[in-house]
Amino acid sequence: MLNLEYIRSQFPGLETDWVLFDNAGGSQIARPVVDRINEHFYTSNVQLDGSYPHSVLARERHDEAHRKLAEWINADDPKELIMGSSTSLLVRILADNFRRILRDGDEIIVTNCDHEANIGAWRDLANYGFKIKEWRLNPDTLALEKEDLEDLLTKKTKLVAFTAASNVLGMLNPVKEFTRTAHKYGALVCVDAVAYTPHRLIDVKETDVDFIVFSFYKTYGPHYAMMYGKMDILNALPGFNHFFIREPPYKFQPGNYNFEFCHGLSALPDYFADLADKHGYKGENNRKERFKYIYSLIAGHEEGLSRKVLDYLNARNDIKIIGPVEYNADIRVPTIAFVQKNRDSREITLKTDEDKVAIRWGHFYAYRLINDLGLHKQNGVVRISMVHYNSLDEADRLIRALDYAL
């Protein structure tokens, strides 16, 4: 059981009379992250690598943040972490690097069901002579199938782009299995983990991904993003900075990036490690095991939230859930999308607003998915997105609001 009283005390944004179930659009920021952002502004708001004390401190804080974040995702080298303003921008930078090393006729595989951040940048490479193939979800199960991927892969495939968890369907993809399949053909993988990271622990060694990217503002931090890349691949790419900057991560970070956010984000792994201790962790004295422990508790709590909401939606004969209709922690996260028969999705969310329950409608930048499902005419789907700081009482308020809105 999660101690929600303590957890919610770490998120001042929850001190409101609204129920916030739009977390996949942007989660609340943890208090320790804000405290360290302010600490940077007040005590080390200078350029790195000077000889004076303030600059030395700024460098130490920068390096500490990279070490902690690398440990959090199980990366070998903190220099494998590239910071940027958004997932969309980081994937664009990566795609531009591939544009300069690929050859005419080389192939890239993208899906028809993910957030456009990990689709559009790659599809644009068709303008430079590269062949783009589309990996389409199974229309019956709404899942990406390994067999369909294998049908697309050839010796010319250089990269496969897919998501770890759908920001609409809530469905988890078998990242390790898909990565292994792509690697058999010599292809690299770029994984969008934006909708995954708030709920599950990334392990870049276990999954063997080549690139993985996610946004912190959906994972209890500020509007900032991070991309992991294997060091040997980063070294081989041309970069995206001044000609004399040749070392990762700086070769992919043009200009000064956000030092205050970087220091603030050092508190995020600390938050999860401390949370494990506060929830009775008694295992080995290392942070990796603490991360695994607390994320397992988080998955269990989110299962309870999701079951309550899915049971309610499944009991109605006028509702169609878009994605898995039952909750299983192995196949979905608590991001739940639905439509009501012959009803505009926007109207439903305006009604829940009246009860101070914040959910959302739209395509959520998975534009191709919503189009292929024929849902644009009714303003896309209604999306409910919960995280570990949400409570069962809040789920009950949501159900009461939906009773009124539907």
Check whether residue 8 and residue 156 sit in a common domain: no
Backbone angles phi, psi at 244, to 5 degrees: -90, 0
Identity of the amino acid at 388: H
Could you please report the per-residue DSSP string of 387-406?
-TT--HHHHHHHHHHHHHH-
Does 280 map to a domain? no
Q: Look up the pTM and report it.
A: 0.96
Percent of residues in the chain assigned helix, strand, coil, to nearest 5: 45, 15, 40
pLDDT digit string, tens, across residues 4-57: 999 999 999 999 999 999 999 999 999 999 999 999 999 999 999 999 999 999
Check whether residue 8 and residue 38 sit in a common domain: no
Check whether residue 42 and residue 26 sit in a common domain: no
pLDDT digit string, tens, across residues 60-97: 999 999 999 999 999 999 999 999 999 999 999 999 99
Check whether residue 14 and residue 54 sit in a common domain: no
Does 279 map to a domain? no
Number of domains within the chain: 2
Check whether residue 342 and residue 213 sit in a common domain: no
Pairing of strands 319-321, 157-163: unpaired
Asked whether the beta carbons of 220 and 27 are under 8 A apart, the reply is yes
Q: Give the least confident one: 172-181, 280-289, 291-300, 347-356.
A: 280-289
Does 11 map to a domain? yes
Does 303 map to a domain? yes
Check whether residue 156 and residue 217 sit in a common domain: yes
The residue out of 234, 269, 304 marking a domain boundary is 269
The share of the chain scoring above pLDDT 70, in percent, equals 100
As a whole number of angstroms, the longest Cα–Cα distance in the chain is 68
Does 23 map to a domain? yes
User: What's the CA gap between 347 and 380, in Å, rounded?
Assistant: 11
The residue out of 269, 300, 324 marking a domain boundary is 269
- Give the range of the structural domain holding residue 199, as residue numbers without chain letter: 33-269
The CATH number of whichever domain residue 353 belongs to comes to 3.90.1150.10
User: What's the CA gap between 248 and 80, in Å, rounded?
Assistant: 7
The residue out of 269, 299, 314 marking a domain boundary is 269
The CATH number of whichever domain residue 215 belongs to comes to 3.40.640.10
Check whether residue 331 and residue 215 sit in a common domain: no
pLDDT band at 256 (very low <50, low <70, confident <90, very high): confident
